[in-house]
Chain A
Amino acid sequence: MDRDREAEREDRIANDIINDFEAEFHEGLKESKRVDIYNTEHLENQKRRDLETLKQAWINEKMVPTILPYEEELMKRMFERIRKQLEFIEMNNVELQTQEKDIKLILVLIESELERIQFMIRSYVRLRLRKIDKYALYIQEHEEEKDKLNNDEITYMEGHLSMQHGLFEEQFLKKMNLTRRGNLGEDKEMVVIPDKSFPVITSAIRDTYVSNASINEGSVYVAQWQEVSQGIAAGDLKIL
């Protein structure tokens, strides 16, 4: 009698443990699914934001007279995603015959998108290089401008400057018995500096002020770059 009760009790305990375990397991499964969904949503939002940021960075670099800080993190993520897409294309090209028939269409879509993204990145990089070429001497002289470049761009700029310097030396400065100390010499006034007063066209994301003029949300406002640069950085204004 006692033994029976004992066994019953043990059974119950065992059942409880099993139930607890199962409940926990299902809970955990749900949890991990939720995390998965959360992660994909998170990634999806990030991709959307990144595309938007890239587009805006490209437009900004185009319209603003000075060089802007390099979008280091964004570019890293973009290059990583481009690499993944290239891998995907590579893999599916090999197995083209056996794969499902839609693979061709999918590849067309993926390749077109790749082209579009690469176009924006290329244009972005080229616009920066053009500004670096133009304002090299100015950028070299100012640390805060130099901080806006990435390492490759600094290498490029220094290489370009030293080649240019060498060429000028070789071609005429030596013959005229003139030597310049470094790239600058004494002709500071001849350094090309970006025209910070050049106007840019902006649209107001919320009600704001630009040098004492109040601007309503949604307005399109033209003003000198130096006047609006803070508003852009604060996210009150967007360059069109």
Chain B
Amino acid sequence: MTDIPTLSANEVAFLAEQEEVFVLSRHSLPAIHMIGPTIPRMQALQRHKIPLWSAIILKRQRKCNIVTPEWLSIEVLRRAVSLERRNPASLLTPEQLNLPQLWPAMARMLLQNAHDDLIDSPHEIRAALHDLQELRDLKIHRMLRTGTQNLYGLSHFEVAQLRPLLLRQINLLLKLNEGDNDENENGTGIDNGINDGGFDNHDNNDDNLNNDPFDSYPSNEEHKAFGSSDGPFNSLTTSPPPFPNDSTLIEENPTKRRRMGGNTAPPPESDSDSDNDIEFRR
């Protein structure tokens, strides 16, 4: 099988660091000519727009404060959650929610490096971020079950997260559409598709799958681990987690699900931030 290209967690963080933020300088610095855009001359107590990575360096040296972006506030995040709730049928784009494309990665870096510059309390922001992420993940999983090619609303971060799964699923579907008759050629591909968790039998997708040959193929336990043949990156944290089992997907309210505790699937975005968050709530 063709190896699936991925953006690793570190590479996504790298891209997020390229985004620009405002800083409030505490120190004067001359303009610095860079390979990319010049870092403007800094004067104390003035706002400047610089890339996040340089803001973090300056912040660590106590040369500036990072101005919290508007979207990293409880107000915007809670509003995003309620907007998503009000549109259960479709996923909203990050623009509609006033979020940047790589919001989870940026939020994480800002929470780590500039928690003292935040306006709202970091714990509450983490909780709000977590709620929004879970809600969106739930919607995305629903959307993927339909096997659609148009993934309206997905952010760049979520694309990076889901890429291996998504590409495998779509690749398989497209190939099946192409050569419906040629079963021999696609045999192995179908096996993989089933085992990668895309097509378990579920009320939602029965309609779509009735005409497809998936049901008749046996699944092979060995391949159940997600992304087992993913190449060098599967050991990293971003390779997407396996699908939560069906009972969790039917659950309407994602916040309840987390508090139910032990026996449910782990939240899809279990990075160190969210772990802290759960502990805090307990």
Identify the A interface with B (CB < 8 A). Answer: 44, 47-48, 50-51, 55, 59, 62-63, 65, 78, 81-82, 85, 88, 102, 105-106, 108-110, 112-114, 116-117, 119, 195, 197-199, 201, 203, 213, 215-216, 218-224, 240
Q: Give Cα A86 to B21, complex, Å.
A: 27
Contacts of A88 in B (CB 8 A): 33
Contact A47 B37 (CB under 8 A): yes
Contacts of A81 in B (CB 8 A): 35
Q: Shortest distance in angstroms between A202's beta carbon and chain B's nearest beta carbon? A: 10
Contact A105 B63 (CB under 8 A): yes
Contacts of B37 in A (CB 8 A): 44, 47-48, 51
Q: Give Cα A47 to B38, complex, Å.
A: 8
Contact A221 B5 (CB under 8 A): no
Contact B38 A44 (CB under 8 A): yes
| Interface residues as binary, B173-188 with A (CB distance below 8 Å gives 1, 0 otherwise) | 0110010000000000
Q: Give Cα A43 to B178, complex, Å.
A: 49
Contact B154 A105 (CB under 8 A): no
* Nearest A-chain residue to B167, judged by Cβ: A199
- B143-163: which have CB < 8 Å to A? 149-154, 156, 159-160, 163
> 20 additional contacts, CB 8 Å, given A114-B35, A240-B159?
A47-B36, A47-B38, A50-B36, A55-B15, A59-B7, A62-B5, A62-B7, A102-B30, A106-B32, A108-B57, A109-B39, A112-B54, A113-B53, A116-B14, A116-B18, A198-B167, A213-B150, A218-B93, A223-B149, A223-B174
Contacts of B17 in A (CB 8 A): 116
Contact B170 A199 (CB under 8 A): yes
Q: Give Cα A240 to B160, complex, Å.
A: 8
Q: Shortest distance in angstroms between B20's beta carbon and chain A's nearest beta carbon? A: 10
Contact B36 A221 (CB under 8 A): no
Q: Give Cα A58 to B17, complex, Å.
A: 16
Q: Shortest distance in angstroms between A86's beta carbon and chain B's nearest beta carbon? A: 11
Q: Give Cα A105 to B115, complex, Å.
A: 22
Q: Are A51 and B36 CB-contacts (below 8 A) given A105-B61, A197-B174, A201-B159?
A: yes
Main secondary structure, interface of A, reads: helix
Contacts of A50 in B (CB 8 A): 36
Q: Shortest distance in angstroms between A82's beta carbon and chain B's nearest beta carbon? A: 6
* Nearest B-chain residue to A215, judged by Cβ: B150
Q: Give Cα A195 to B160, complex, Å.
A: 21
* Nearest A-chain residue to B17, judged by Cβ: A116
Selected contact of B2 from candidates A82, A198, A203, A223, CB within 8 Å: A198
Total contacts A-B at CB 8 Å: 109
Could you jot down 12 A-B contacts, CB within 8 Å? A109-B34, A110-B32, A117-B35, A197-B178, A198-B171, A201-B163, A213-B150, A220-B152, A221-B150, A221-B151, A222-B149, A222-B151
A-B complex: 5 closest residue pairs judged by Cβ atoms: A51-B36, A220-B151, A220-B154, A81-B35, A199-B170
Selected contact of B36 from candidates A62, A65, A117, A223, CB within 8 Å: A117
Q: Shortest distance in angstroms between B129's beta carbon and chain A's nearest beta carbon? A: 21
Q: Shortest distance in angstroms between A71's beta carbon and chain B's nearest beta carbon? A: 15
Contact B2 A65 (CB under 8 A): yes
* Nearest A-chain residue to B50, judged by Cβ: A109
Contact B93 A116 (CB under 8 A): no
Is B166 located at the chain interface by the 8 A CB criterion?
yes
Contacts of A109 in B (CB 8 A): 32, 34, 39, 54, 57-58
Contact A119 B149 (CB under 8 A): no
Q: Shortest distance in angstroms between A144's beta carbon and chain B's nearest beta carbon? A: 22
Contacts of B54 in A (CB 8 A): 109, 112-113
Q: Give Cα A81 to B150, complex, Å.
A: 40
- B1-45: which have CB < 8 Å to A? 2, 5, 7, 14-15, 17-18, 29-30, 32-39
Contact A218 B95 (CB under 8 A): yes
Residue of A102, A116, A117, A220 contacting most chain B CB atoms (<10 Å) = A220
